[in-house]
Structure 1
Amino acid sequence: MKMNISIVPRVQFCYEGLNGSCIRANYPLSLRIPLYFLFTSTVIVTVGGNLLVMVTIFHFVQLQTPTNYLICSMSVADLLLSVTVMPPTMIESLENCWYFGDFLCKFYACVDITLCSTSVLHLTCIAIDRFFAISQPLQYHNRMSRCVALTMISVSWGLSAIFGSAVAFSPDGEHAAESTDSDCIGGCSALHEKEIGVSYFFVFYFIPLTIMSSIYLRILVIAIRQANIIHQTNRQVRSGKHNVIKMDYKATKTLGIVISVFMLCWTPFFICNIVDPIVGHSIPALLYQILMWLAYLNSMFNPIIYAISHTWFRKHFRIILKRLL
């Protein structure tokens, strides 16, 4: 007599032998290792790229302009995101477990929201900076001084920190977390608190993106108008002034690429946050994780965009790399 024996995969827990432990993700080793390698590579590239931007701007005095102060501060936010947020997210994504305690869970959520929001607000400030550079080139240096740039940086960090702290540590946030999580040991519902999706969408996505898009369209109109005037009058532009105009337009083109990449990376994630409460939080956790990592990739793409788009960035990058190697 033949017996059919079916092998049922053993259920694994975040904390084996502990009652009330969350169930650990049961990904096969053949999938887990490549994903760990992919996520680790993403973290390394993000850290290296943003660190290189920061070192380059700090090292060369001629690069220390108001625009580059904003870019450097945004690189700081992206660097901190890759160091403090991405590694625990990688573990939680692949293991479905949080091993770092309840307080660090809330602190992680605070840092995550703060750094992502800071990066978005810096993009908005950079768009405003480019608008003044193109629309009012003669008054630009008076309007966009070093003090103004530092004020923009302080406001961006301050507003983001206040919002992140309010969401992560508020009593309402804790109540929402309890209502959406099974209260198992080894979980961190604050990692992906979907109840804040609508407010977060409008404050740190819809409003900044509307401002950035409106400003960029206005910049394009002004740029086209100025190009037509120069072409029609056929004026001879001095070489120095011509180079300044070329640099301003180059920076404006780079801004358009940065905004486009930002939309590609963050739009799916924010749409997921808006739709998920409407459908009763039925969006699969795996899809949510994928869209979240797509959003994080924006922090890796920003320094790559600047390195590719600006000749002077590439030149100074090479100098720094030669000295390091």
Structure 2
Amino acid sequence: MSSNSSPPAAVQLCYENVNGSCVKASYSLAPRVILYAVFGLGAVLAVFGNLLVMISIFHFRQLHSPTNFLITSLACADFLVGVTVMPFSMVRSIESCWYFGRSFCTFHTCCDVAFCYSSLFHLSFISIDRYIAVTDPLVYPTKVTVSVSALCISISWILPLVYSGAVFYTGAYDDGLEELSRAVNCIGGCQVVVNQNWVLIDFLAFFIPTFIMIILYGNIFLVARQQAKKIENTGSKTESSSDSYKSRVAKRERKAAKTLGITVIAFMISWLPYSIDSLVDAFMGFITPAYIYEICVWCAYYNSAMNPLIYALFYPWFRKAIKVIVSGKVFKDNSATMNLFSEQT
């Protein structure tokens, strides 16, 4: 008896003729091209945008300050995300296969987590820096020095690297989930299944610094508002030179705090969906659909490309530095000492 039903489509594998290969479930041609363009653009922006930030602050002496050194180190973390994480995650997300080996999968995951927490630590220290600068701008230079900034940078790198290495290279992350981990990590797969204990620790490690930053920036903007009102009320009166200087310093610090506050908000918006999804997923039996997970992951990755765009939008000195670098004037002998500020406030 004949049948009108069509034969089932052949199952595609990540590695044909290899026992234990993962099933390949990649997109059709048009969506793949679009996704490669979108994800690739994020990686390019993360690499070259943050590279411009690092070159600008390192090259121009006028930008050598404790705050800017923290910003440079933050840009380095985002730059490394664009180099070591995003390109390989792009292939995994679109092709649904991991072609780079099991050892590099562990290294990739370790870098992913370490650079995320490094960014969070940097932003936390920047928040403290801005709080001191706005609330006590005249004492700030004696409290926050280059050596203090170097200590903060060291902590922001050492702790995340040690933490991620200890968790992922010892295999502690999947204790109690070994069977599930083996099932999802077929040949050609690179999926990390993290148990509830470590997911909860990760969430608290994200939430607590974020909560502290919200409190600090809330206080910063309250103080900034009070300072602005005070300056406005005394604007018509004759100011002494010390009062005038204090007003200019306070204005400058408020501008910097505003821009860096936007950077913190962008970080929270980018990473919050992934953090919540990871927490819910671990306690609900890993039920998140693959496409939801990928959206959350790439929202987080794209944060590494956003910071240079924020600086370009709100920092005139960064726009001027980009013009000098791109035009080649950066190679002139006196370029390092040039003035990047249109006005000294």
Unmatched 5+ residue regions in structure 1?
none
Q: Map 1:10-25 onto structure 2 (within 5 A).
A: 10-25=10-25
Q: Which moved more, 1:53-62 or 1:90-99?
A: 90-99
Matched, 1:225 2:226: yes
Q: Is the 8 A contact 1:250 1:310 kept in 2?
A: no
Correspondence for 1:279 = 284
Deviations 1:1-32 (A, max 9, x none): 99634253321111100111111123211211
Q: SS state of the match for residue 100, structure 2? A: coil
Higher helix share: 1
Deviations 1:197-237 (A, max 9, x none): 2211111x101111111110111121122222223344445
Distance 1:46 1:54 in 2: 12
Distance 2:95 2:168 in 1: 23
Distance 2:188 2:260 in 1: 41
Matched, 1:209 2:214: no
Deviations 1:181-203 (A, max 9, x none): 3142111233x646432211111
Counterpart of 2:201, as a letter, is S
1:33–1:233: structure 2 CA closer, same or farther, 3 Å change rule?
closer
- How far is 1:177 from its partner? 5.8
Correspondence for 1:28 = 28
- Alignment TM-score, normalising by the size of structure 1: 0.93
Q: Is the 8 A contact 1:120 1:208 kept in 2?
A: yes
Q: Is the 8 A contact 2:50 2:308 kept in 1?
A: yes
Distance 1:216 1:119 in 2: 17
Deviations 1:241-274 (A, max 9, x none): 5443322111111122112211211111111011
Correspondence for 1:123 = 123
Deviations 1:79-104 (A, max 9, x none): 00110001111111112211222221
Q: Is the 8 A contact 2:173 2:195 kept in 1?
A: no
Distance 1:27 1:262 in 2: 29
Deviations 1:276-304 (A, max 9, x none): 12221111122111100001111110111
Q: Is the 8 A contact 1:198 1:273 kept in 2?
A: no
1:71–1:282: structure 2 CA closer, same or farther, 3 Å change rule?
same
1:178–1:297: structure 2 CA closer, same or farther, 3 Å change rule?
same
Q: Map 1:107-118 onto structure 2 (within 5 A).
A: 107-118=107-118
Correspondence for 1:297 = 302
Q: SS state of the match for residue 296, structure 1? A: helix
Q: Is the 8 A contact 1:12 1:26 kept in 2?
A: no
Correspondence for 1:54 = 54
Q: Is the 8 A contact 1:177 1:189 kept in 2?
A: no
Correspondence for 2:333 = none
Correspondence for 2:316 = 311
Distance 2:167 2:329 in 1: 41
* Coordinate RMSD, CA, aligned: 2.0
Q: Which moved more, 1:286-295 or 1:163-172?
A: 163-172
Q: SS state of the match for residue 285, structure 2? A: coil
Deviations 1:114-155 (A, max 9, x none): 111101111111111101111111110111100000000000
Distance 1:50 1:284 in 2: 32
Correspondence for 2:343 = none
Unmatched 5+ residue regions in structure 2?
331-345
- How far is 1:72 from its partner? 0.3
Correspondence for 1:184 = 186
Distance 1:177 1:305 in 2: 41
Q: Which moved more, 1:101-110 or 1:68-77?
A: 101-110
Distance 2:121 2:212 in 1: 10
1:116–1:236: structure 2 CA closer, same or farther, 3 Å change rule?
farther
Q: Which moved more, 1:150-159 or 1:92-101?
A: 92-101
Q: Is the 8 A contact 2:134 2:220 kept in 1?
A: yes
Distance 2:150 2:32 in 1: 43
